Chains A and B, each alone.
Chain A
Amino acid sequence: MEFTVTPIDPATNLVALSGRMDSAGCERAELPFTAAVGSAGQNALLDFSKVEFLGSLGLRMLISVCRVLQRRDRKMVIFGAPVAVREVFDTVALDKMIPIFAQESEARAHLGL
């Protein structure tokens, strides 16, 4: 998996993820992702539109970083996930922890942008 981080306002980063969030991908990306998104202390607006697969290690990475942000009173929001990825979100009821939206505009609105 790959990701890019783009500041979109003083309190929020747009994080665009792509590729397979499987064990191989997440083992490589977990530390840099945690450092760039979790340690940044900014709200994270996650663009999932180019994520091809989400496995349990990918979920763990997301949830760990989300908990870091929540402890800092910051938010993580997801948008644009393909159907197969949304099914994984649904299985683990991820929306009880992280707000999930179909459209970027809805996700931005949730953050007051």
Chain B
Amino acid sequence: MRDSDSTLGLDPDVTMTARPAQTRDDGELSCTVLVAVGPDGRHQRLEVGPTPISVGRIVGNDMVLPAAEVSRNHCRVALHWRGLEVVDLGSTNGTWHDGRRIAAPALLRPGESVRVGAWTLRCERGTAREMQRAEEVARELDRAGRYVQALLPPPILEGPVRADWRFLPCASIGGDAFGYRYLDDRHFALFIMDVAGHGAGSALLAASVMNLLRERASGPLAPGQSSPAAVLGTLNDSFQMDQQGGLFFSAWYGLYDLSTRRLGFAAAGHHPGFLCRAGSQPQPLVTRNPAIGMMPDLRFLADEVAVPPSSRLVLFSDGAFETIGHDGRQRGLADLLAILVEPPAVKGAELDRLLSAARAGARPGPFDDDVCILDIEFD
């Protein structure tokens, strides 16, 4: 096989030749780094020198990936003059490259990656300065992601409205966020949003929106100002994409009146939320509006629905269903909806069931986009 094929096999041209310190044309030494990105989006970085590094679940490996699906001694990574060579060490769940389990040593060129359990292992190469900068950027992304996560509300486990969620940020931060809270004794507000972009800028925008909504919700409830259409209108006025670095976002906002059992809602560029009742098809709740920031001076369409006893509202971001599966097929909303119509799992396990379904519809390793699932239960 030639170098166009990443499987090294028996090709003498690509037999391991470690050149730990290559010199670029500009005279700077280049180094090669193995970057592991975990299911929570966090990074580990390790420069690969002349001695191969071991990757596995237990302490004693050079890089430890603490997850059950990673074998104790999972794979070995060695320097190659074109990048990194990865050898699976007979792991239980395999090392995957381009959707295929590797059976022979695999070459990773800079920018390419393999998947080990829910982790992605990526090869990066550059000068020491470039690698240092990349490490700083990764740290900044981690910080930005943690900041957004710190703003997420804790689950509400008791009371007439209960709320719980699962959130898996992707490595580059997809700009998902959500929130919920009682505005007063009678009104419960909730939202989910998804910024059209990745990175620290998306996280900053998500955090700004969350803070704005929190600030509005902390004041007295002014009639009309907390209606879903009014809230989306305010967001649209405040976050026009021209003033937000070209970023806009989709949002779904709901306001539940506990005394009337009616849920007002409005979606802006967002797919439906689903109102689920035992024995009935999930009811899609959506209104057709542009995403927030796309166009100025919009009046948003809203709607409302009666909430039957013992029903639940499920909201999720597109990262939960816009995935490419093991078979290479593009998944869509209909795939996740097919899971949603099945009888719910035992109490408390529904979110994990939906998250497992989302994971099953994607290739192994971290998701390419933030995944966020919100479950609101009504008495």
Give the contacts of A21-46 with B (CB-CB under 8 A).
23
Known A-B contacts A53-B330, A59-B196, A64-B241; the reply to A97 vs B248 at CB < 8 A is no
B284 to chain A, nearest CB (A): 11
For chain A, the count of residues having a C-beta within 8 Å of the partner chain is: 20
Which of A56, A67, A84, A96 lies in contact with B197, CB distance below 8 A? A56
Check B332 against A84 for contact (C-beta < 8 Å).
yes
Q: Mark B180-206, 1 if CB is under 8 A from A, else 0.
A: 000000000000001011100000000
Check B290 against A91 for contact (C-beta < 8 Å).
no
Check A93 against B288 for contact (C-beta < 8 Å).
yes
B250: Cβ under 8 A from any A Cβ: yes
B269: Cβ under 8 A from any A Cβ: yes
Grouping DSSP codes into helix (H, G, I), strand (E, B) and loop, the A interface class, with mixed when no group exceeds half, is helix
Q: Mark A47-60, 1 if CB is under 8 A from B, else 0.
A: 00000110111011
Check A92 against B294 for contact (C-beta < 8 Å).
yes
Which of B194, B197, B290, B318 lies in contact with A93, CB distance below 8 A? B290
Check B368 against A23 for contact (C-beta < 8 Å).
yes
Which of B248, B270, B330 lies in contact with A91, CB distance below 8 A? B270
Set of chain B residues within 8 Å of A53, measured between Cβ atoms? 330
CA distance in complex: A54, B113 (Å):
24
Check B269 against A63 for contact (C-beta < 8 Å).
no
Closest to B249 in A: A56
Set of chain B residues within 8 Å of A67, measured between Cβ atoms? 241-242
A94: Cβ under 8 A from any B Cβ: yes
B141 to chain A, nearest CB (A): 15
A73: Cβ under 8 A from any B Cβ: no
Q: Give B contacts to A, CB under 8 Å.
A: 194, 196-198, 241-242, 246-248, 250, 269-271, 288-291, 294-295, 318, 322, 330, 332, 368-369
Known A-B contacts A91-B271, A92-B269, A96-B295; the reply to A60 vs B290 at CB < 8 A is no
Q: Mark A67-98, 1 if CB is under 8 A from B, else 0.
A: 10000000000000000100100111110110
Check B248 against A93 for contact (C-beta < 8 Å).
no
Check B294 against A56 for contact (C-beta < 8 Å).
no
Grouping DSSP codes into helix (H, G, I), strand (E, B) and loop, the B interface class, with mixed when no group exceeds half, is loop
Set of chain B residues within 8 Å of A64, measured between Cβ atoms? 241, 246
B329 to chain A, nearest CB (A): 11
CA distance in complex: A56, B288 (Å):
17
Q: Which of A23, A84, A91, A94 gathers most chain B CB within 10 Å? A: A91
Set of chain B residues within 8 Å of A90, measured between Cβ atoms? 288
Q: Give A contacts to B, CB under 8 Å.
A: 23, 52-53, 55-57, 59-60, 63-64, 67, 84, 87, 90-94, 96-97
B337 to chain A, nearest CB (A): 13
Between A and B, 6 residue pairs with Cβ closer than 8 Å are A56-B250, A64-B246, A67-B242, A92-B294, A93-B289, A97-B295
Given A91-B269, A96-B295, output 5 extra A-B contacts at Cβ < 8 Å.
A23-B198, A57-B196, A59-B291, A64-B246, A93-B269
Set of chain B residues within 8 Å of A97, measured between Cβ atoms? 290, 294-295
Set of chain B residues within 8 Å of A93, measured between Cβ atoms? 269, 288-290
Set of chain B residues within 8 Å of A60, measured between Cβ atoms? 196-197, 246-248
CA distance in complex: A55, B324 (Å):
12
Set of chain B residues within 8 Å of A63, measured between Cβ atoms? 241, 248, 294
| 9 tightest A-B CB contacts, nearest first | A56-B196, A92-B269, A60-B196, A93-B290, A92-B291, A93-B288, A64-B246, A96-B290, A91-B271
Set of chain A residues within 8 Å of B289, measured between Cβ atoms? 93
Check B197 against A57 for contact (C-beta < 8 Å).
yes
CA distance in complex: A50, B142 (Å):
37
Set of chain A residues within 8 Å of B248, measured between Cβ atoms? 60, 63
Set of chain A residues within 8 Å of B369, measured between Cβ atoms? 23
